[in-house]
Chain A
């Protein structure tokens, strides 16, 4: 498979996927987004296993991670990434519905790079996603070994 993308989005809810992609569309970042729907798929992508065995060996520039996911949840994905030498440099942004302090503390302890609570207000949501996309995919210089902008 030849899937290229600098933003890996891990999100199980298709509506959230659509809304996020809509928001990213404004910066023409939509095509750079790879969407996976649970933690297991995310790890398969990162380790180039299963469906993603054939992808190029570059890492995504940023990972947008939901916490509540089927099979393997977001915190487990985060933990595995941050304890793996080849993956720990990938910036991870937690993008979640929850404002629970427990999740926030756990995420930061595991070394998350940013923690964003999805706002209910759509304008705020769009702004947040746009800024995230712009910062991590355009402004931020990703670590060596990441996919470059096409």
Chain B
């Protein structure tokens, strides 16, 4: 509470009060004597009454008694007969009573006046301090970045903070006195009656509202309302805070759309996968059987009628057999290739040294009678599906063996390039027939071959299989070569779990 301010109309020290009594009575006496000298009689008592009144009003009750006593003495001594004596005649008594009564009356008045004055001062001070406090609070509300505004029960805006100005674009001067929902074209998710019912019941409401800014753009806000009631419980104001959630809403919407799209694509992909699987299954069962029958019956025919057939017919028969078997191999390779795409990968840490040894073992029967100089360097560990990686290595190594067949001394090198943190690059280099770099793009395609089947047998699926395996590992595969000067194949595979 603020300190009580001293009254200008009150004498505080007692000595001043008594002084005042002496001075005012003295002045009244002097004035009386002066007037007497000019034969102006009958106003002395009024002068003393005035002096008493002055003393009572400004000096309080103590000095008032002194003033009454002094006035009575002076009046008795100077203005009643016998003059210049303190004899009190009965005819003078009413004067002294009048002095005393007047003093008492004025003292009472003065007391009442002081009390009223004190009360007035007190309530003024209280009011001032409350105003100061309110102003401070309002200033604090103004400081916050949050949008805060207050409206009365008829939705007329009575307070509008800086955050509200920043969000909606209207200044406090523009917004105050306006109808809140009309100004901002508020759109409610539920009926406004329901909102009000909830607000009255719980004292608060929160929800998402769509509003319009001063520039006409739309905004979605998370809105919280609090109801302010007076002492009697009547609603007097609604405080509303708003947070702009338009960006969040937009992002949510985007995420939802992306998710929907993803779900749809996943469903499509699953359907495609199922179709592919059904296709592969059907190929596996139904396409292989006729091939087997062609081969089987041709063999039986050959066995039963070999003596009856001439050399040309024998050759025809052989061609049928070869073609059918080739078809069988193609189907098997194609199925194996499609299986890579369909099979689940089981990724573990794989020891590449061991894997290369196994792959070399697998191609051993193709190397019989060959002069091959193997140069296998130190190989790191990598992360992937062991059996798939093994298949990729077997394909590449058997390719190297195959395409160095024309060399009196084949040289095959398997090693690892400088390894960085995230991936391992393995290479397989041979001194075989190589290839023309202008066909490098066709190297990894299904059924793509750069050599005739007469020169080098094969179905054209091996490198496509390698490509698919490495791709499923999130890796890369590429090749470098020169006609008649060998080829190098590179595999880049993640070295650890991503």
Contacts and interface: CB of A to CB of B under 8 A. Distances in A.
Is chain B's binding surface mostly helix, strand, loop or mixed? helix
Contact of B284 (A13, A99, A122, A123): A99
Interface in B266-300: 280-281, 284-286, 288-289, 291-293, 295-300
B253 interface: no
A96 interface: yes
B293 A15 contact: yes
Contact of A98 (B284, B299, B324, B329): B284
Contacts of A120: 288, 291-292, 295, 324-325, 328-329, 332
Contact of A99 (B286, B296, B325, B335): B335
B335 A15 contact: no
Given A68-B285, A101-B339, A120-B324, A22 B300 contact: yes
- Which bracket fits the contact residues of A? 20 to 34
B285 A121 contact: no
- Which bracket fits the contact residues of B? 20 to 34
Given A98-B281, A99-B284, A122 B299 contact: yes
A58 interface: no
A122 B317 CA distance: 14
Nearest to B299: A122
Interface string B288-317: 110111011111100000000000000000
Contacts, number: 64
Contacts of A22: 300
B293 A19 contact: yes
A65 B296 CA distance: 20
Contacts of B299: 122-123
A21 to B, nearest CB: 12
26 contacts: A13-B289, A15-B289, A15-B293, A15-B297, A16-B292, A16-B293, A19-B292, A19-B293, A19-B296, A22-B300, A67-B285, A96-B285, A97-B284, A97-B286, A98-B281, A98-B288, A99-B332, A102-B281, A120-B288, A120-B328, A122-B292, A122-B296, A122-B299, A123-B299, A125-B292, A125-B296
A100 interface: yes
A46 B483 CA distance: 65
Nearest to B336: A99
Interface of A: 13, 15-16, 19, 22, 67-68, 96-102, 118-123, 125
Given A97-B289, A120-B324, A15 B281 contact: no
Interface of B: 280-281, 284-286, 288-289, 291-293, 295-300, 324-325, 328-329, 332, 335, 339, 343
Contacts of B280: 100
A53 B497 CA distance: 62
B12 to A, nearest CB: 109
Given A22-B300, A68-B285, A97-B285, A121 B339 contact: no
B96 to A, nearest CB: 133
A122 B285 contact: no
A15 B328 CA distance: 17
Contact of A122 (B295, B329, B332): B295
A96 B289 CA distance: 9
The residue in A16, A100, A122 that gathers the most chain B C-beta atoms within 10 A of its C-beta is: A122
Contacts of B285: 67-68, 96-98, 100
A90 B166 CA distance: 85
Contacts of B292: 16, 19, 97, 118-120, 122, 125
A4 B288 CA distance: 32
Contacts of A19: 292-293, 296-297, 300
A44 to B, nearest CB: 24
List the 4 closest pairs (A to B, CB-CB), nearest first. Answer: A120-B328, A122-B299, A97-B288, A98-B284
A27 B292 CA distance: 22
A26 to B, nearest CB: 12
Contacts of B298: 122
Contact of B289 (A16, A119, A122): A16
A67 B300 CA distance: 25
A23 to B, nearest CB: 9
A96 B286 CA distance: 10
A13 B293 CA distance: 10
A97 B332 CA distance: 11
Given A13-B289, A118-B289, A122-B300, 13 more contacts: A15-B296, A19-B293, A68-B285, A97-B285, A97-B286, A100-B281, A100-B284, A100-B285, A101-B343, A121-B325, A122-B292, A125-B292, A125-B295
A106 to B, nearest CB: 12
The residue in A19, A100, A120 that gathers the most chain B C-beta atoms within 10 A of its C-beta is: A120
Contacts of A97: 284-286, 288-289, 292
A52 B407 CA distance: 66
Nearest to A118: B292
A122 B328 CA distance: 12
